[in-house]
Structure 1
Amino acid sequence: MLRYLTRGQVAVGAAFALPPAVCAVLVPFRAGLSDTNTVLVLVVAVVAVAALGHRPAGVLTALSAVVWFDLLLSRPYGQFGVVKPAAVITAVLLLVVGIAVSGLAARGRELKMIALTDDDYLAQIHHTARLAGTSTGPHTVIDHVCRQLVGLLGLSGCRFEYGILMGRPPRLEEDGSIAWGDRCWDADRDGLPREELELRVFHHGRFHGRFMLRPAPGAAPPLAARLVAVTLADQVGAELDAAGTTTSRGSTRS
């Protein structure tokens, strides 16, 4: 069962379970421990949970530590009432530690994910460039990029149209924005439009065709993914330009 739990669920569970467990272990020794030493032990528990990078769990752990410290380790034992100045300071410090450490850990995880995502984007661009240099024709590259776009943008389907411009569907622009008629669609806030959108393929000012992108429900690729999609389309344009392709044949991926 544990392998099916998310990091957030584990962190929240630890937030509720770890402080009372630590306080229960310290109960037999509470008469000989100073409040300072007891609080330092609880800080370790707070940091351990907060280091998971789940901000709410870090705060919950700190609050839980305050409650159980006051109930089990602070005189009068078994009574809750953070009214003494020293107890108030303890509560505030534990809360500050929980917020600060969980915030730092969460930011560290975000930076790590960004680095891993960037590596994946670069690998996709490199893979397409290598395929373009070794393939026997542009159709192989187009099919490959269609598959990449499906995974990259969260699409339910993708097809390529040669040299055709019909209608005015939403358009993925070179800067990663989405133009829809006279307005600019806020893809960062609203994700991709539900309607099929186009990604035009140019090279040296020559229009070769367009990828028609069918978003899956709720698809909301970040700007970096949309820029990678544009780069992949540019690679297809270079391949078509080099091959001198003028055919109207279509390529589809669903």
Structure 2
Amino acid sequence: MSTETGAWRMLHGKHAPAHTLPLRDRLALTAGLSAPFLVALTLVPFRTSLSHTNAALILVVVVVAVSSLGSRTAGVVAALSAAAWFDFFLTRPYETFDINATADIETAVLLLVVGVIVSQLAARARRLEVMTVTDASHLARIHRTADLVQSANSADTVVDHVRTELTDLLGLRACRFEYGTLMGRPPRLEKDGSVTVGRRTWNPETDGWPEGDIELRAYGNGHYFGRFMLTPGPGAVPALQARLVAVTLADQTGAALDTSGPVRGW
């Protein structure tokens, strides 16, 4: 949003300074710079007997390992580092960045190209894995709440449960529920996951959360029962998918209130 620090911010269309990158991505960037160097240095005693093709394949494995741990940037850095140190340590003249043999030049270029392509594929696989885990987490929230709506003896139990879920899902500093009141005109989280401030549509992806608390209304069977008041936390705005899950949780709360009889505070 997310990303989002380097990786997180990139997911939200923004870039962040390196010191705000998640620890995993910072470690991957460090590994991208250092791991190819260390592996190439380890191969130096064997450079006269080890074919350049095999040496390049070993370095590609290093690039894949780095890419699977970090972002695309880390993978590209690892590919560049691998090509550079392959040239420096493993091709004649040794310990210079000159290459005399045409075959060695071709191998170095192929190492770079293959390393970059593989790093993109590995990073994409990692992102798809994260998305799958995130989707499963969202579904689990919805299922837990649906089960509670069916089994809870009190709608207040559902309200408290959803308050906790929303706080975790949206990274809120605080969340409270107001029964049957519509005081003031705070920013509102809409059914489509967008945010409105007054009559203006607010773009949370580019502008962040608006100032103050944000209301998320709970309706049941077309009737308004109350609203969650969301106090945003300091992190990035959650992705649209998470905001749509929040709307679904509010609707489930409304359904629970609709079947519970008279609502407290009315």
Same fold? TM cut 0.5? yes
Distance 1:232 1:25, change over 3 A: closer
1:236 lines up with 2:236 in the alignment = no
Shift in Å, 1:87: 4.5
Distance 1:21 1:224, change over 3 A: same
Per mean C-alpha deviation after superposition, the further-off stretch among 201-210 and 78-87 is 78-87
1:151 lines up with 2:168 in the alignment = yes
Matches within 5 A, 1:4-153: 6-82=23-99, 85-153=102-170
Match of 1:197 among 196, 203, 214: 214
Per mean C-alpha deviation after superposition, the further-off stretch among 95-104 and 230-239 is 95-104
Distance 1:84 1:182, change over 3 A: farther
User: C-alpha deviations, 1:39-67, integer Å up to 9, x for none?
Assistant: 33333333333333432222222222222
Task: Give the corresponding residue for 1:247.
Answer: 264
User: C-alpha deviations, 1:10-57, integer Å up to 9, x for none?
Assistant: 323332333233333333333344433433333333333333343222
| DSSP-derived class of the 1:243 partner | coil
Match of 1:221 among 234, 238, 263: 238
Which sections of structure 2, spanning at least 5 residues, go unmatched?
1-21
Shift in Å, 1:71: 2.2
| DSSP-derived class of the 1:221 partner | coil
Task: Give the corresponding residue for 1:252.
Answer: none
CA distance in structure 2 between the aligned counterparts of 1:218 and 1:10, rounded to whole angstroms: 21
Which sections of structure 1, spanning at least 5 residues, go unmatched?
250-254
Q: Is the 8 A contact 2:67 2:74 kept in 1?
A: yes
Q: Which amino acid aligns with 2:194?
A: S
User: C-alpha deviations, 1:154-204, integer Å up to 9, x for none?
Assistant: 111111112211211111111111111111111222332231111111122
Distance 1:96 1:125, change over 3 A: same
| DSSP-derived class of the 1:165 partner | coil
CA distance in structure 2 between the aligned counterparts of 1:89 and 1:15, rounded to whole angstroms: 22
Shift in Å, 1:117: 1.3
CA distance in structure 2 between the aligned counterparts of 1:154 and 1:38, rounded to whole angstroms: 46
CA distance in structure 2 between the aligned counterparts of 1:184 and 1:9, rounded to whole angstroms: 36
Larger radius of gyration: 1
| DSSP-derived class of the 1:209 partner | strand
CA distance in structure 1 between the aligned counterparts of 2:108 and 2:40, rounded to whole angstroms: 15
The count of corresponding residues between Structure 1 and Structure 2 is 245
TM-score scaled by structure 2?
A: 0.82
Q: Is the 8 A contact 2:179 2:265 kept in 1?
A: yes
Per mean C-alpha deviation after superposition, the further-off stretch among 207-216 and 88-97 is 88-97
CA distance in structure 2 between the aligned counterparts of 1:219 and 1:31, rounded to whole angstroms: 52
Q: Is the 8 A contact 2:186 2:214 kept in 1?
A: yes
TM-score scaled by structure 1?
A: 0.86
Per mean C-alpha deviation after superposition, the further-off stretch among 185-194 and 29-38 is 29-38
Distance 1:85 1:128, change over 3 A: same
Matches within 5 A, 1:163-174: 163-174=180-191
Distance 1:71 1:21, change over 3 A: same
Q: Is the 8 A contact 1:53 1:107 kept in 2?
A: no
Q: Is the 8 A contact 1:192 1:221 kept in 2?
A: no
Distance 1:138 1:33, change over 3 A: closer
Q: Which amino acid aligns with 2:148?
A: L
Per mean C-alpha deviation after superposition, the further-off stretch among 62-71 and 194-203 is 62-71
Shift in Å, 1:247: 3.1
